[in-house]
Amino acid sequence: MSDAPVLPGSTIGVLGSGQLGRMFAIAARRMGYRVHTLSPDTDTPTGQVADLETVASYDDLDAIRAFARRVDIVTFEFENVPAASADACAALVPVRPGGHALHTTQQRAREKDFVAAHGFPVVPFARASTRSELADAVARIGPPCVVKTAAFGYDGIGQQELASADELERVFTALGGQEAVVERKVSLAVEISVVAARGVDGAIATYPLFENRHVQHVLDVTLCPARLPQPLARDAIGITRRLLELLDYVGVLCVEFFVTREGELFVNELAPRPHNSGHLTFDACVTSQFEQQVRAVCGLPLGSTELLRPAAMTNLLGDLWAEGEPRWPAALALPDVKLHLYGKTEPRRGRKMGHLTAFGATSDEAKDRALAARRALRAGDGALA
């Protein structure tokens, strides 16, 4: 396939149709591109703003090929697209990031093997597919540990904590026969993420580090810039850049890291796409992670990742709708707050429905403002006092 730029006016195909695709489509259309999305669902967050929404299974290779013939390039909104589907697209148009990167990052065991094999720091881990392998892995890693399904895990789904060997049967049953990764549980101080992009020409751009706080395994608040010692920040950026090169990656990649109380840095996961922790870049950076994805996959020069002001993002989950429609005017009464809703019609507990981004003189001040705005959604104007 040619490395010639895919210029505005062309059509970008997006496999997947959630909020990441929605924000990508907004950035792409602003730059003059057309956007087609394909997923098994209809009236999706991406489909609502795309030029065309194709409803088809990711396993329907005839539909995948028909989709690819109508676009000039294909990218991904999420990583769990079957390899055969990516290959079917790649036979017709450029697919970025490429199939090798997708294959490596869409399955936790393969990803950890890749990261460890290249000498990057990872939490001690072992793979297990049977009950006896799980018992051996737990014995080698030692409790307490975390057992994670190797595939289709996100936001804590498919994760089980194991405090002692007595819990082995419960955890094995919960896995449902899936391959798993057993990781040592570390003394976590903070989780950070590095969002970066690599272009067709090999140029790399990294965003300021994001500091992440989770509640029940779901990202709750992100601060930028992260409050992290400079040596650790440099190490995290250096690892991310090297991973982009080793994967021959084109597009936006997020690398999540654990920072322990002892000051150790470990690679946790790779996400081959824009990431929840980078949502604040939509408002807070010269070039958002979504515009950067457009630039990277279309072979255009990468944009500036400069942070315009310290910022914080907080997720809005479906729980907020439990007592009725949230009070949007109360939150937006704070002048330094931006609202993003994803167009999802059914709020469910734990479902990501949108996010708030807030600004401040420091990332801490921005965090406090974002949380105050979220509280106001339920408490009304009184929460602003």
Q: What is the CATH number of the domain that holds 44?
A: 3.40.50.20
Same domain, 223 and 269: yes
pLDDT at 112: 95
359 and 226 within one domain = yes
CATH of the domain at 164: 3.30.1490.20
> What does pLDDT average to over the chain?
94
Per-residue pLDDT for 142 more than 80? yes
How many structural domains compose the chain?
Answer: 3
- At residue 55, the 3 state secondary structure works out as strand
Q: What is the pLDDT of residue 165?
A: 82
pLDDT at residue 347 is higher than 90: yes
pLDDT higher than 90, residue 245: yes
Supply 324's token pair: 């009725």
pLDDT of residue 384: 39
Say if residue 172 is exposed, middle or buried (CB neighbours under 10 Å; 0-12, 13-18, 19+).
buried
Residue in the block written with tokens 């965003």: 207
Does residue 178 share a domain with residue 193? no
Q: What percent of the chain has pLDDT over 70?
A: 96
Tell me what the mean pLDDT of segment 323-352 comes to.
95
pLDDT of residue 172: 85
Check: pTM over 0.85? Answer yes or no. Answer: yes
Q: Per the domain annotation, does 23 fall within a domain?
A: yes
Is 306 part of any domain?
yes
Query: What are the tens digits of pLDDT across the range 39-65?
Result: 999 999 999 999 999 999 999 999 999
- Long-range interactions of 306-310: CB distance < 8 A, separation 24+: 307/207, 307/208, 307/224, 307/225, 308/284, 309/284, 309/359, 309/360, 309/366, 310/223, 310/224, 310/225, 310/359, 310/360, 310/361, 310/362, 310/363, 310/365, 310/366
Residue 147 vs residues 29, 99, 139, 200: alpha-carbon distances, Å: 41, 27, 13, 37
pLDDT digits (tens, 9 = 90+) for 270-305: 999 999 999 999 999 999 999 999 999 999 999 999
Band (pLDDT 50/70/90 cuts) for residue 383 is very low
Residue 361 lies in a domain: yes
Q: Are residues 239 and 311 in the same domain?
A: yes
332 pLDDT band (50/70/90 cuts)?
Answer: very high
Q: Does residue 72 share a domain with residue 218?
A: no
The answer to whether residues 258 and 289 belong to one domain is: yes
Q: What percent of the chain has pLDDT over 90?
A: 84
Domain presence at residue 6: no
Q: What digits encode the pLDDT tens for the residues 110-130?
A: 999 999 999 999 999 999 989
Q: If DSSP codes are grouped into helix, strand and coil, which group holds residue 282? A: helix
Last residue within a domain, chosen from 95, 116, 141: 95
Per the domain annotation, does 194 fall within a domain? yes
In whole angstroms, what is the distance from residue 326 CA to residue 337 CA?
15
For the segment 174-232, what is each residue's pLDDT rounded down to a tens digit? Answer: 888 789 999 999 999 999 999 999 999 999 999 999 999 999 889 999 999 999 999 99
Q: Which of 74, 95, 116 is the last residue of a domain?
A: 95
| Judgement on whether residues 298 and 326 belong to the same structural domain of the protein | yes
Res 325 pLDDT > 90: yes
Q: How confident is the model at residue 146 (pLDDT cuts 50, 70, 90)?
A: very high
Task: Answer yes or no: do 169 and 211 share one domain.
Answer: no
Shared domain for 233 and 296, answered yes or no, is: yes
Query: Tokens 């199939």 correspond to what residue?
Result: 99
Judge if 136 and 229 occupy the same domain: no
Band of the pLDDT at 173, cuts 50, 70, 90? Answer: confident
Q: Is 63 within the bounds of a domain?
A: yes
Q: Say yes or no to pLDDT of 87 above 80.
A: yes
The pLDDT, as a whole number, for residue 152 is 67
- Domain boundary (57, 80, 95) is at 95
- The reply to whether 328 and 253 lie within a common domain is yes
Task: Answer yes or no: is pLDDT of 157 > 90.
Answer: no
Residue 385: per-residue pLDDT: 32
pLDDT score for 163: 87
Let me know whether 274 and 133 are in one domain. Answer: no
In a domain, 103, yes or no: no
> Would you state the pLDDT for residue 381?
43
Residue 1 has pLDDT above 80, yes or no: no
Domain of 146, in residue numbers = 124-184
Is 115 a domain residue? no
pLDDT band at 18 (very low <50, low <70, confident <90, very high): very high
